[in-house]
Amino acid sequence: MPLPLPRSMVLSPISFHLPAPMDPYVAGGTTRHSGRPDWVLLHNSARISGHRNSTTAGCHTMEGRPIEVSFWLVDPPGVSYFSVHCPGLSKDFQGEPYVHCAEAALVLFSVTFLPVPGRRSIQHFVYRAGPGAPSLDLIPDPDKIRRGDRYGLLPCGDDTDHYAVVFLDRNFIAYDKPWRFNAHVFLSATRSWSSKVPLSCLSEDDQALLLKHGTCKPPIMVGATSLGWVDLFKGILLLSDVLGDCPVVKYIQLPASRVCHMNKRGFPYTAKQYCCDVSSCRDNSLIKFVEMEFNEPDRRNRGGQGWRAIMWDTTVISDGWSQRFRVDVDNISVDRSYSGLLPQLWNDETRELELKRLILYTPTLSVHDDNLLYVMAKMNSEDDKAWVITVDMKCEAVEAIAPYSTRGRKLTSWHSPCTFPEYLDPATPGDHVAMHSRRICAADCVLQMLLTRDWFREIGERFEFERPTHVECLSLIQCCPVSSVLSDIQEVVKYAFSTGEGEAAPKAVDLCSRAFEDFDVLLRELLHDPASSTEGMSCKISVALRALDSILDIVPPTLRALADACHQKGGKTIFDLASRLFKEQI
């Protein structure tokens, strides 16, 4: 029988605990919070929480009740979250507050209340990150809005204090007559809605495509004065000069040479969001489009197959699309340091990690003119555990990986790329929530070290009695936590230095790195030389344990106490413990 590997060593359950609103990154990934990011992948659904930080802003609902929103930000590919708090109304929500779109310093979201049983009240709010202190506005509902209408959001030129909320109403008249459009615009400067009839500049082909045009993602801002409603299989319905007296409706068709995502009966193999994405770069009005091509599109939910990603770009005045990058999964390099996070990707024959073993879901483009593609992926379609992976398409390499929990979430509309953190006032002082969050996340890293120590002790006990089989050695290599725990050690050391307790850290870190490296080398020798003795391995395990203890000795007492408390409960409740401690402190 193979060694019974501790579940936490393949990947700690902590890594998939939906983060408490206070933690600045999800533990277990390969990216860490580096101050305030300039853009984020914001989860579309909110948490109901009263925690506050320097991003918090508030106003009042239609009924005059106070409402607050706060954002909990992390560098991509980590997933950022927002929370909503309405004192005294915790039981009056229907579903979760939801982001509709975000542009520049602005985020538009809705909250559905149940003031009385059987009666819904859907209210929309705009969060403005800057300049100055963050603010929150209630948007009055227009008389003509219908369920399903998609709002767009547009800053009013250089005046970042004001903005427009827009939805485009379109009506089919007849096959031989042009579509009829109405643009309904709310201006924050006047606090009122108005309607305009745009000029249609659609060709016959455009009008035919519009018959099947279905909006499946938030509208995108194109340049400074245009909004686009996107169908990921057809094209972009563009409303230009939104704030002018006579807006114009145009249609941008997607690349003609793109991949066919339809089966023989003319139905899509899967949801559009699982194959494509469109984003717009505000700085240069560039529109980017990416699509995924699978060798076997009808069985993509089983993974283990070849795929390619193709990125295109265009502008409103360009004559068609230009192919920017094309990358094949077989050519994407995955650094071996990721084996601690995803040991299942290891191929014994090639001695490499293979990205195609993952099941790919939604691709996402950033809002900048860069080479990066973000993909949501799973090892098993039934699993709640997922990963957001950054792929540099120009260098054909994985740049970063962050864990994500999909429990109860739709993968087709899980996030919105947002630039509003760039507009937050950098002079805003940190608050006690942020400081507490750093301590909690450092405590989680200490927990991973304690679990790694358990792992070493368990295999050390086994080596005392008998030599592991070839299969057991292979399993040990695949789940060996030393590469991932080294990043946790670095985080603990940073925290120790910040509290003035890291004087002995450099020597301890050097000792631990060498001990882990020696252990890894000997473990691989044991795999390829069945006749070798395990005595040397027992010695290396003892050295590694002493090295870990030397690191744990420099952990600040309060940090160690929190990690120890969680460790005694099986390593599953650190953020619950943290939340309870936080409430006691405030």
- Domain boundary pick from 368, 387, 412: 412
**Segments in 89-237 forming alpha helices (H):** 204-211
**Is a pLDDT exceeding 70 seen at residue 215?**
no
Q: Are residues 459 and 556 in the same domain?
A: yes
Same domain assignment for residues 297 and 438: no
Choose between 420 and 530: higher pLDDT.
Answer: 420
> What is the dihedral sign for C-alpha 564, 486, 494, 547?
positive
Let me know whether 408 and 434 are in one domain.
no
Q: Are residues 405 and 465 in the same domain?
A: no
> What tens digit of pLDDT does each residue of 413-440 get?
677 889 999 898 876 554 444 455 567 6
pLDDT, mean of residues 69-75: 89
- Report the helix count and the strand count for the chain, using DSSP H and E: 9, 29
pLDDT at 86: 87
- Structurally, how many domains does the chain consist of? 2
Structural domain includes residue 352: yes
With a cut of 90, say whether residue 14 has pLDDT above it.
Answer: no
Kindly state whether residue 497 falls inside one of the protein's structural domains.
yes
Q: Note whether residue 316 is domain-resident.
A: yes
Q: Do 402 and 436 have their domain in common? A: no
Those residues whose C-beta lies under 8 Å from the C-beta of residue 568, and which sit 6 or more positions away, are: none
Cβ–Cβ under 8 Å, residues 213 and 235: yes
Single-letter amino acid, residue 439: R
Contacts of 574 (CB under 8 A, 6+ apart): 14, 17, 440, 443, 444, 447, 562, 563, 566
Question: Is 318 in the same domain as 275?
Answer: yes
Which DSSP string corresponds to 247-265? -EEEEEEPPTTPPP-B-TT
pLDDT of residue 123 exceeding 80: yes
Q: Is the pLDDT of residue 26 over 50?
A: no
Domain identity same for 461 and 559: yes
> Is residue 122 assigned to a domain?
no
Mark which of 381, 412, 443 sits at the end of a domain.
412
Distance between CA atoms of residues 74 and 583, nearest Å? 23
Could you tell me if residue 344 is inside a domain? yes
Q: Is there a domain that residue 326 lies in?
A: yes
Amino acid identity for residue 313 in this structure: D
Neighbours of 397 (CB within 10 A): 15
**Short-list 37, 9, 29, 45, CA closest to 407:** 45
Give yes or no: residues 284 and 382 share one domain.
yes
Pairwise CA distance, residues 392 & 583, whole Å:
41
Does 298 share its domain with 398? yes
Residue 293, domain member (yes or no): yes
Do residues 408 and 440 both lie within one domain? no
pLDDT mean over 360-389: 86
- Residues 43-70: what's their mean pLDDT? 89
Same domain, 446 and 516: yes
pTM for the model stands at 0.71
Q: SS3 string of 42-65?
A: EECECEECCCCCCCCEEEECCCCC
Pick the last residue of a domain from 412, 439, 464: 412
Phi-psi region of 432 (alpha: psi -120 to 50; beta: other; left: phi over 0): alpha
Residues 502 and 355 in one domain: no
Task: Identify whether the C-beta of residue 252 lies closer than 8 Å to the C-beta of residue 314.
Answer: yes
Residues spanned by the domain of 493? 429-585
Residue 251 lies in a domain: no
